[in-house]
Structure 1
Amino acid sequence: MKTRRRSAFILPCIPTLVDKPPEGDRWTHEIKYDGYRTQIHLAGGHARAFTRNGHDWSMKYAAVLAASRELITRDAILDGEMVVQDESGRSSFKKLASAIRWEGSSLVYYAFDLLGLDGNDLTKQRCEDRRLRLHELIGDPRPTCALQFSQAFEGSGADFFAAVEKMDLEGIVSKRRASIYRSGPSLDWVKTKTYITGEFAVIGYERKRGAAPSLLLAEETDAVMRYVGRAIPAIPQNQRDELWQALEFLHADRLATPIGGGNKGVVPVQPLLKVMAKHLRGEEKLRHATVIEVLMPR
């Protein structure tokens, strides 16, 4: 009896975070979807889905895999992002976990690369050639289909990023057209993220000699305080002086919520002072965060 050979999981190519998108006709640009990186393997009429770390989540993504088998009749390995969209069509990371558990039919998979086709390894082919074959395989967008091709923008990276920022999307991914697919961190794929501003409570601070002072921030959800990361004050000096005076007055014996390791030099404060912090969108913890306004208690 002949057994069906299963394709092996391929470690994904990870884009490098940059401050601004690259320019020039050697690059192409796509929307960065706010979801879970997913690899779909189609072989012999069967389909499997793997997480970024290679865990088999086929049961969780059953509806998307069924749509993939219906649309694609050939053996293929797809690289893409599993998302759920809000009422405006934007991918919503906050709703994703709930959708996976309770509303699998609401999931949408945006495929942006083709790593294998009919048993042939495509990872050594040019990125633009792989994407052309992927587009031929999936076709143009179908509004009700759970499998979509990630469209590219062929103009200025800066212009595309500005448009994405206005739409309140997470950012863009830029890819070198001639690059092959390499697993792990890559400079041939780079991501540029947009910023978002939020309100947070200060639960502590740290002032080290030779380093920029930082505030430890938390957000309160359902009366539960959750540590979200650090931010550097980027406010005028007079406001900064008021900030440190207020924090000294609010000294506490312990932190309002655990923050994990690395808190040896942290000074806990009562979580009564709120700040507005600007940070990268789509991150579990605050990244590149700066405090832009202090909301003094009255």
Structure 2
Amino acid sequence: MAAGVFIPPCIPTLVDKPPEGDAWTHEIKYDGYRTQIHLSGGKARAFTRNGHDWSPKYQTVLSDARDLVRRDAILDGEMVVQDQTGRSDFKKLASAIRWENASLVFYAFDLLGLDGNDIRKQRCDDRRQRLRDLLGDRRQSSRLQFSDHFEGSGAKFFAEVELLDLEGVVSKRRASIYRSGDSTDWKKTKVYTTGEFVVIGYERKRGAAPSLLLAEETDTTLHYVGRAIPAIAQARRDELWQALEYLHTSHFATPIGAGNKAAVPVQPVLKVMAKHLRGEEKLRHATVVEILTP
């Protein structure tokens, strides 16, 4: 197996709750950019989830990887930036890549190749043990870290992750091989919350799911927070679009309309309940779960 040849990553399936049983282990889901690091002949390269070479952006991490790993290897993991409590902070990641490269940390959670050998067909727990051995004892100062796992109840581990305000959990079947693309052997469970928002517009682009533009209501104004896709029964969805067409107006009450030609503004009277990832300034992975009667 030649290092430097990008391998499409294994993508976990989103589920409502972690699987249970001894066949599974569970890890923290880090909130960052999926990254693949290739080490060969004392050189290191980093690829994004889609195979783009971002080595120049990750030089500090790659420098630590070269110092720590003295063998040819292909590592799968997540590039993150962490806050003072050690939690990954997604909203600061893009800025850190550009201006604070030294603050980046790579959490390695799988080993795909070692010394030129393809080990993707080995068991997941065997690959991870080889990865742990390869990285050695944890060094707090290193920008290359091993992603530890938990053995036991997935529900219990997820509850602890919720209390820590982390993004979620990735559960992996211990005996599974590594397959590129969507996988049911890897399952991700995310921490969500719900909130009440005002609909200030919508988008219905060809080839994409229609979405609502939502805002939070303050004492003096409406603050745009992001988009959400309706996840309600078809009959209620039809009622929603009829109401939005009736509420169409010629301008936005907030600046969100500037430069957004696909956005259709509406009078800000309709409220909805939306489910979204917790702890974010803007809505991420948001869905509308209920329409509130004005």
Alignment-mate amino acid for residue 131 of structure 1: R
Alignment-mate amino acid for residue 227 of structure 2: V
Larger deviation, residues 42-51 vs 277-286: 277-286
Listed as ranges, the gaps of 5+ residues in structure 1 are 207-213, 235-242
Question: Which residue matches 2:37?
Answer: 40
Alignment-mate amino acid for residue 25 of structure 1: D
Question: Which residue matches 1:209?
Answer: none
2:134 corresponds to 1:134: no
Structure 1 residues 293, 121: CA separation in 2 closer, same or farther (over 3 Å shift)? Answer: same
User: Distance in 1 between the 2:261 and 2:11 partners?
Assistant: 27
Q: CA RMSD in A?
A: 3.4
Question: Which residue matches 2:77?
Answer: 80
Question: Which residue matches 1:23?
Answer: 20
Task: Select 1:217's aligned residue among 213, 220, 232.
Answer: 213
Task: Select 1:154's aligned residue among 143, 151, 154.
Answer: 151
Superposed counterparts of 1:112-123, under 5 Å = 112-123=109-120
Structure 1 residues 96, 198: CA separation in 2 closer, same or farther (over 3 Å shift)? Answer: farther
Task: Report the secondary structure of 1:216's partner residue.
Answer: strand
Task: Report the secondary structure of 1:110's partner residue.
Answer: strand
Superposed counterparts of 1:1-298, under 5 Å = 6-198=3-195, 200-204=197-201, 216-219=212-215, 225=224, 227-231=226-230, 251-253=248-250, 257=257, 258=260, 260=262, 268-271=265-268, 277-281=274-278, 285-291=284-290
Give 1:138 shift.
0.8
Task: Report the secondary structure of 1:109's partner residue.
Answer: strand
User: Distance in 2 between the 1:147 and 1:269 partners?
Assistant: 48
Give 1:231 shift.
4.3
Contact 2:81 2:96 (8 Å CA) reproduced: yes
Identity of aligned residues (%): 67
Q: TM-score, normalised by structure 1?
A: 0.79
Contact 2:231 2:289 (8 Å CA) reproduced: yes
Structure 1 residues 288, 248: CA separation in 2 closer, same or farther (over 3 Å shift)? Answer: closer
Report the count of equivalent residues: 271
Contact 2:274 2:286 (8 Å CA) reproduced: no
Structure 1 residues 91, 270: CA separation in 2 closer, same or farther (over 3 Å shift)? Answer: same
1:206-249 deviation digits (Å, cap 9, x = unpaired) = 9xxxxxxx9823348xx985641234589xxxxxxxx99x9799
